[in-house]
Every structure is written in structure tokens, then in C-alpha cells.
A and B are shown apart, each in its own frame.
Chain A
Amino acid sequence: MKESMWGYLLIFIGLFILTVLFFVYNYSTANENDYYLLKEATEAAMIDSVDRGKYYYDAEVVIQKEKFVENFIRRFSEITNINRSYKIEFFDIYEDPPKVSVRVTTSTGEHVFRASAADNPVVNTLDAILETKN
């Protein structure tokens, strides 16, 4: 009896560790995945939102913020994990010179949240600019 209890304990610990590993893995994967998607979507959206007329005529690199936000949302929705919900926030969009700050919040399994950041386990932020080649 005593030996079987040890066995159960070992199995329980193993399961617990697996659960923790699974959770941590899931979290870090989601975090990393979201970060790269965020980075890719931001880059594409920023480049898409450049006012090309202004660029080609005036040699000015200026983005259009509404266009950037739309483009980002559409791109991000296309490429990200569709099984999760996201809260996307845009801070500090400067059109000229182009600079954006984006925060994407999601969770590993729960439904959409509206609570504070403390309840959102997977948060990624990104700050990026467009600069000319010198």
C-alpha cells in the first residue's frame, strides 16, 4: 500500500509537471507567435499605408494612420490564430515621420476579456518606425 501511494504520487507529480509545462509552452508559443505576427503585420501595414503620391512627388515618407490601422487589422486577422480573441490597441501613431506603437493582447484559451492588463496573460507590444535609407 505504501509503495502504491508513492507510485500515485509520482504519477500525480508527473501530470502536474506536464500540465505546467504544457501551460508554459502554450503561453510562450502564443507569445512568440503573436509577437512575430505582430511584427510582420506592422511592417506590412506601415509600408502599405505610406502615401505614395507624397513620396514620389514630394520625397516625403508619410503614412496615413487610418489606412495603417485598417490595413493592420485586416492583415492581422488574416494571419493570426483564429481560435483566439484579440484586443489590438494603437498608441502614438505619428504620420510624419512614421512611427507606430501597437499592443496586442490575447489569452491562451479564455474568451475575450475586457478587464485590465493584469488579466490578459499574453501581451505583445511593438514600436516601429519607417526611415529612409541614408
Chain B
Amino acid sequence: MKKIILFAFIISLFLFFPTKVSAVSYSCTTSGGKKVCYYSYQVNDPDFRYSISKVTKNGTSGLTLWGWGFLYNASSYSGSSNRYAVEVIYNGNVIKTYNAYTYSFAPVSCYHFQKASSKIDNNECMYQSQYSSFPSWIFSNNIKYPNALNSVYDYIGFSTTINLDEINTLIAAKANLTCPKSTHPACVKNNCGGVASEKNENNNNLCSFTKEGSFKFYLRLKLIAPSGAVRNSDRVFYKNISIYNDTNIISSAVRSYINTKGMTISTNNYSSAVATRVDAGYVRSGPGLNDSPIKDSGKNVYVPWYGWYTPTYTTYRRTLVASTAGGNITLNKILIYGYVTKGCGHSNTSCNDRVLMPDSTSRSGYISESWTYPSNPVTYIDTKIKKNCKCERTPVSFNEGAEVPSSCSNDAKTATKNDTLKVDDTIDVSTATALNIMLKGDNSSFATQSQYQGMSFNVGKLKEVQDNFNYSSDNNYPVYCMLERNFKLYGKNDIYGAITQGKDEEKIYAGRYYRIKKDKMTADITKKCVTNPGCESTINNIANSSTITYDLSYKPDNTLKTKMINGSEDEDKEVKITSVSSPTQISKTIQSKYEMRNDQTYYYDYKMGDVSLSETDFLIPGRNIYPVPVKTTTNNNYDIRVTVKGNKKTNGNSDTDFTYTCSYMPIGKDNGTPDDSGKKNNTNYYYRTIGLKNVFPNNRKASYNWSNANAQKVKEEIESNGENIYSKNPKYSVIINTAQMREIRKYNNSLESSGGYMDYSLKCTTTNDVRTCYSKFLNNIVTKGYAEEFKRGDN
């Protein structure tokens, strides 16, 4: 018995003290009324606490990687700017090393949290770079020192820029990709991955990749110690890196090569503080501000800002843009934190770089321990928002364009400059576009104590906005849906890449964006309840069908390059779409409010009216949108199915969050070649009859698509089976007589205006990554009188 107890105790020790942790975590705890938040990077090497945490765009094919962390005994690394490097790893091999440039710096200001008793808490500090070239936002973290400000740990940042074109070329070479002939833009740009190829009449490379245009590669930070020892960080999956497009649009080349599955991509020039987190709701700071708010898992948002202390400063203003998902921000707490060096001014160099260190012994210019928390911070709201509105989320009718109902149970007035926020105030930011909150202290407190920096408040029940890409299995083109009261259709830029539309462009390619010229389209919405029969009754106030007028004029996010998209037809025709996490709205808001049970799925089919596409028109993209000649006729109906999956979660506080996953796909319309023959196509493939004994007789060279391993296998099967296949059971068998052929002809006629033979519907399911599709026409061919008998054999 004793041995068992001892054994269990030893085992439990291992459970409580894990030997190795390799993770990025962010957590806050409350201790003695004081919130302590820290963000820790833990790698296997305790002396090398780095990670590649953020990626920003750099030009058209560059990605700048940023990271920061602590380095043990950083001074021993001094003298070499190349001591850090980022390695690009593909297939287990390092294919490229980019030297990273490091910035060791003294922290400019240190944020930390403290309570009114003003006890300075060690080990909590945020740092900022004093180098303007290094974006300060990446330092907007609460970082816990490995030790209590052990001076041997320095805070180091690094950055490097990797070239994606170069990486793709290297990967292409490694992946032994062949170059068939096609004018796929991604290939053309990539110059066939370095493999020589033919050129077409326009002198473009005729090549493409045989694989889907996404290659998984890893990035790893390498540190070379002065002794020569190499330390590697954990490998960072590309998919865990958020790519932020600060200024430029991601080119097609980039996105063709990066599988954005699972990635958070933002075109904002501000970002959330944590690269790898997707949190419920978000509050963002406006563009142009240096530091982004930080939100922890407890829905606390810490809004840092800083300023230089001067005797004249008395107020600081931060502008926060609330999530347009709406919801309430409950001001639970106003916690003023942060401080500047007492007595130091902006140009006062005697403060030793304005260093703020909780450890008062190692640097100068520290805050006095007599810093006190202001007892009555004064704040006011400088925007038009509803204040103190205890609005319940009541169902609204499914009306497009409907405003948020003012069904507040108490006075929902518009806040003015003179309003004062207090703890536990609720601010309804559902209609707000900006939330300006100022902290104001009186002169004396500022002059003698500190400036109030930062503010935190609880984020209330903001809706979760989820991206749920699943290109491979869903075959849906995801939209960025935000629901609660608003149900919006967004087009999301993605791996399909940017497009170029010029005057000579004749086709619209799958997966690309085109602008729909028409200002408005009429859409009929048919609501269907799919997964739970009878669930219609649970949907409140949603009309079974309603006519919604869409305004499909493009409403770009202001951080995107809008010139090309928002311009008139006379302007530059080139339309390039970036990836967005702040989505590109391509339709108006449809408002609805409903409660959804877990995993309920609803389909909303939007039937679009006729749209006549021109070269400046947008087409809602999807994998099943086929090329349409731009100057085609008006038979371009694109029915869209928006699938909304609900997920209702109730947390421990009895809060209920509704999250929705929205996906979008075009339904069954294929407006490829509008003519009937089906033969006219400007593609790179053609039809040929064969003999079953020899698919490529007379030493005929196998074409590209019959040259790969799979095709070889198929060829061998065909030739070995030969004519015997006709003695086996057919895969499909149908018997049709005269009357049935008449019915089919009637059916064909009825579809002439909607694509003719290209009007079809496939019902697809995916099981274990295998996608199986069934034709609706074939499913009903007998019941609808189109055939006497129909059999599907063993497929």
C-alpha cells in the first residue's frame, strides 16, 4: 500500500511539474485585487525565449518577421548584427537562412498594473522600442521577466525580411515540380520555379505547379551564441503566423504559395497584440496609433498608450474602435496604469533613455514608490454612443438595413463630452464607430505623480467573429460573417490570389474578384432549415422569404488600397484584392436576430438577378465559379448559398455567446462556355478517342496530365482490362425511351436561359477527406420521368 501511495505521489510530481514546455501563453491572474498579466514565451531553451510572433508585409513578396523576447546575457552577443537568423525549413531541410537584425534597446516606458496601494510589482513590465523603425506595437505586451529583473536578461527584438518569391522558387526546386504548359498567372510570375519552360506567343512562361499552390514551410529563429553554439527556437508553423498587410496588397504570387488555412490575415495597419490568438470579440485601436489594446482571455482589454511627461500634459486620449460586431462593452474597471519617469522630460537625456524599470536599483529615473493610484480618475466619452443602455438583444425583423432597435429599457442617450464613465458602466457600441475615452487628471496629480497611461475595461458580450476556412473539405468559399444582429456577406480574399483585369482581359477566372457594376441587385432569399427538421419554428422573426435589395458596390475597408477598387471605370482597371480579416463587404447588411441551437445549420439561398458583367465588375468568388467571358450575355445568374452554422456556448458566468460560422458558395451555376457545343474552349486540353489496348499508340508521347504516377497507374489499368470492361457491371446505366427523351428535352429548354447544359446541381459530402458528389438530376431522373431505369453501379 505504501509503495502504491509513493508511486502515485511520484507520478503526480511529474504532472505538476512538467519538464518541458514549449508554448506561447498569455494569462492574467488576480492577486490581492491586482491583476497581473503576463505573456510568456517558453521554449525549450530557457535562455532563448524567442519566437517569431508577427509578420508584416514588405513589398509584394516580402514578409517581415518580428519577434521579441528575453535573452540571457545579451551583452555577450554584442558586436554582431547577424547573430540571429531566421531559417526557412521545408521538408525538414533548411532551404534558406535570413539574417535577422536585432535591436537591443532600453525600454522606454514600462507599463504595469498596480493598485491604489501603489506597491510596484516587480516582474511586470512592457517595453517599447526607442527605435522608430521598429514598430512599437509589437512590444505592447505584458511581459514577465524570467526572473525578477535579473540584469542578465535583456529585452531584445529582432526583425528580418524573407522573400517569398525566393522561398517559393527554392521550394519548387526541392519539390521537383514539373512544368506543364499553362498560363496560370501564379506560375507565370514564378517563372516556373526556375525550371525552364516554353513560352507562349506573348513570351509568357507556360508553366504551372502540379500541386496545389500551397507549401508548408516553417520558420525557425536561430541564435548563434558568441561561443558558436547554435540555439534554435521552436519551429513556428507558418500557419500560426499572422500576416499583416500594413501598406501593400499581397500579390498573387504570395498567396498562391501560402496556404492561408488557419491563418489570420489582416490588412489593417494595426493589429491585435497577440499573433496567434483568436479571441472572442475584439477592440482595436484606430489606425495610426502606436499601440494596440491587449485583450486577455478574461475579456479584459488593456489599452496602453504612452506619452512623454511634461508639466503641461494633463490628459491623454485614446481612440478605440469597437468591433463592428456590435455588442456591449461593459466598463468594469478603470484601471490606470503605467507611468513615466518621474522628472524626466522628452528631451531630458539625464534620465538614461527614459528607462522605467520596476527594479529601482539598476537604472536611473525610476518611478518613485510613492506613486499612487488616482482615486477618482475622470473619464469622459467623446463620441456618440449610447451610454448606460441596458439593451437586451431582442429579435428584430429580417430587414435589410434595419437599425439596431432602440429598445433600451432605460435611458439610452447619446453620450457627450461631459459624460463621465464610472466603473460598471455599460457602453453600447453597437452603432459606434469609434470610442474615445479620455482619462483626465488634475494638474497636481499629473505634475507630481504620473500621467495616466492606459486603461483597461472588460469587454462584454461582443460577438465572436470567426473565420472558418476549410477549403479542402467544404468546397465552400468562406465569407466573413458577423452575426448577432447583423448578417453580412463578405467576400474574403484568399489563396486564390489577386487578379489583374485589364482591357484585354477576356475571361473571369475562378476564385477571383470582380466588381459587379450594377448598383443594386434584387435577391430572393429562401431560408431553409437543413440539419434539424422543424427547426424553423425556433427561428424568430425571420421571414421565410423576403426580397432583399443588395447593394453590391464595393465598400472597401479603409486600409485597403481603395483606389483601384473604388475608382470609376475610367481609372486604373487593375483590381487587386488583399486578404482581409477586416472583411471586404460586398453586400449590404441583412439584419436578423435569431437564436440557434448548437450545430444547427441554415442555408440561405440568394438568387441573384441578372448581372451583366463587364471588365470592371466583381463576381463573388467561389471555387465553382467558372470562367465567363467578360463580354458575355446576361445569362449570368449566380445563386449564392450562405451557410450559417450556429454554435451556442454558455460559459461559467452564465453568459451566452453565439458564434457563427459562415460560409458561402455559389450554387450550381456554371457559366463557362455559354454555347451548346461544349467544344469551344480556349483551354489547354482536348478530347481524343482511344483504343483500350493502347492509350498512346504509335509511340505517342503521353501528355502532361497522363504523365504523372497516378495517370500511369490508370493507363495500366485501362490497358490491362481492355475490352473486358464492357463485360463488367457499368458504373452508371440508364434506359430512356421516346417519352422520356421528350421530357429531357423540355428540361433542357427550361434551362436555356440559365446556362443550358452548364446548369447543374451537385450535392456533395465529405467523409474522411474524400469528397463525393451526386448529381441532383441523376438522383431524380426516374422520379421526374426522365428515364425508365437508372442505376449507379459500384463507383
Cβ of A133: which chain B residues have Cβ within 8 Å of it? 181, 684-686, 703
Binds A, one of B163-171, B236-244, B328-336, B672-680: B672-680
Chain B residues whose CB sits within 8 angstroms of the CB of A66 once the complex forms: 762, 773-775, 778
- Chain B residue at minimum C-beta to C-beta distance from A88: B734
Q: Which single residue of chain B is at the shortest CB-CB distance from A43? A: B687
Partner of A70, one of B509, B701, B777: B777
A-side interface mostly? mixed
A61 to B721, CA, bound (A): 23
Instruction: Give the interface size class of chain B.
Output: 35 or more
Measured between alpha carbons, how far is A63 from B780 in the docked complex, in Å? 21
Task: Answer whether residue B736 sits at the interface, using C-beta atoms and an 8 A cutoff.
Answer: yes
B689 CB-CB contact with A under 8 Å: yes
Is B781 positioned at the interface, with any CB of A under 8 Å from its CB? yes
How far is A128 from B624 in the complex, measured between Cα atoms in Å?
25
Contact partner of B686 (CB less than 8 A), chosen from A56, A70, A130, is: A130
Residue of B nearest to A89 (CB): B730
B685 touches A127 (CB 8 A): no
The interface residues of chain B lying within 8 Å CB-to-CB of A44 are 676-679, 757
Chain B 730-757 interface 0/1 with A at a Cβ cutoff of 8 Å (1 = within): 1111111110111011011000000001
- Tell me the complex Cα distance, A91–B725, Å: 7
Is B678's CB under 8 angstroms from A129's CB?
Answer: no
Chain A, residue nearest B692 (CB): A127
Q: Is the CB of A57 within 8 A of B213?
A: yes
CA gap between A108 and B212 in the complex, in Å:
50
Q: With a CB–CB cut-off of 8 A, which chain A residues contact B210?
A: 59-60
Asked if residues A82 and B738 are in contact (CB atoms below 8 Å), the reply is yes
Q: How large is the interface on A (under 10, 10 to 19, 20 to 34, 35 or more residues)?
A: 35 or more
| B496 interfacial contact with A, CB 8 Å | yes
> Which residues does chain A contribute within 8 Å of B212, judged by CB atoms?
58
B216 in the interface (beta carbon within 8 A): no
Q: Are A78 and B748 in contact (CB under 8 A)?
A: yes
Q: Binary interface profile of B, 673-706, with partner A (CB < 8 Å = 1, else 0)?
A: 1001111010111111111100100000111111
Task: Indicate if the CB atoms of A69 and B732 lie closer than 8 Å.
Answer: yes
A76 to B327, CA, bound (A): 57
User: In the complex, what distance in Å separates the CA atom of A86 from the CA atom of B701?
Assistant: 36
Does the CB pair A90–B731 fall under 8 Å?
yes
Q: Is A96 an interface residue (CB 8 A)?
A: yes
How distant is A39 from chain B, measured CB to nearest CB, in Å?
A: 7
Known: A70-B777, A75-B678, A131-B703. 19 other contacts (CB 8 A): A43-B687, A44-B679, A48-B670, A53-B510, A53-B622, A57-B184, A59-B180, A59-B182, A60-B705, A64-B773, A66-B775, A82-B742, A85-B735, A88-B735, A91-B731, A130-B687, A130-B705, A132-B685, A134-B703
| Residues of chain B having any CB pair with chain A under 8 Å | 180-182, 184, 187, 208-213, 496, 509-511, 622-627, 670, 672-673, 676-679, 681, 683-692, 695, 701-706, 710-711, 714, 718, 721, 725-726, 728, 730-738, 740-742, 744-745, 747-748, 757-758, 760, 762, 773-775, 777-778, 781, 786-788, 795
28 pairs, A vs B, C-beta closer than 8 Å: A44-B757, A47-B678, A53-B626, A57-B184, A57-B213, A65-B795, A66-B774, A71-B678, A73-B786, A77-B741, A77-B745, A82-B738, A85-B788, A86-B735, A88-B733, A89-B730, A89-B733, A91-B726, A93-B732, A97-B705, A99-B714, A101-B725, A111-B737, A125-B726, A129-B687, A131-B705, A132-B181, A132-B705
